[in-house]
A = this chain, B = another copy of it.
Amino acid sequence: ANLVLLPGDGIGPETTAAAVAVLRAIATRHAHDFVFTEHAIGGCAIDATGAALPAATRAACLQADAVLLGAVGGPKWSDPATPARPEQGLLQLRAALGVFANLRPVRVHPRAAALSPIKPERLAGVDLLFVRELTGGSYFGARTRDAASASDECRYTVVEIERVLRRAFDLARGRRGRVTSIDKANVLETSRLWRETAVRVAADYPDVVLEHQLVDSMAMLLLTRPADYDVLVTENLFGDILTDEAAVLAGSLGLLPSASLGDGRRGLYEPIHGSAPDIAGRGVANPIGSILSAALLLRHSLGLESEAREIEVAVDAVLDANELPRDLGGQAGTQDITAAVLAALA
Report if A143 contacts B (CB, 8 A): yes
Report if A320 contacts B (CB, 8 A): no
Contact B152 A188 (CB under 8 A): yes
Report if A144 contacts B (CB, 8 A): yes
Report if A196 contacts B (CB, 8 A): yes
**A245 / chain B contacts, CB cutoff of 8 Å:** 219-220, 223, 245
Contact A158 B154 (CB under 8 A): no
How many interface residues does chain A have, given as a range? 35 or more
Contact B190 A150 (CB under 8 A): yes
Within 8 A of B (CB), among A148-183: 148-159
Binds B, one of A53-61, A82-90, A294-302, A337-345: A82-90
Pick the contact of A193: B145, B212, B217, B224 (CB < 8 A).
B145
Contact A185 B82 (CB under 8 A): yes
CA distance A215 to B241 in the complex (A): 7
User: What is the CB-to-nearest-CB distance from A200 to chain B, in angstroms, rounded to a whole number?
Assistant: 9
Binds B, one of A6-14, A114-122, A282-290, A305-313: A114-122
User: What is the CB-to-nearest-CB distance from A16 to chain B, in angstroms, rounded to a whole number?
Assistant: 21
Top 7 A-B residue pairs of the complex, sorted by shortest distance between their CB atoms: A150-B193, A143-B189, A219-B245, A151-B155, A216-B244, A149-B157, A150-B189
Listed A/B pairs (24) with beta-carbon separation below 8 Å? A80-B195, A81-B185, A81-B195, A82-B185, A82-B195, A84-B192, A87-B187, A117-B122, A117-B223, A117-B224, A118-B118, A118-B223, A143-B189, A148-B158, A151-B153, A151-B156, A151-B190, A154-B154, A215-B240, A217-B244, A219-B242, A220-B248, A223-B245, A241-B241
* Chain A residues close to B by CB (< 8 Å): 73, 78, 80-84, 87, 91, 117-119, 122, 138-139, 141, 143-145, 147-159, 184-190, 192-193, 195-196, 199, 212, 214-217, 219-220, 223-224, 237-238, 240-245, 247-248, 253
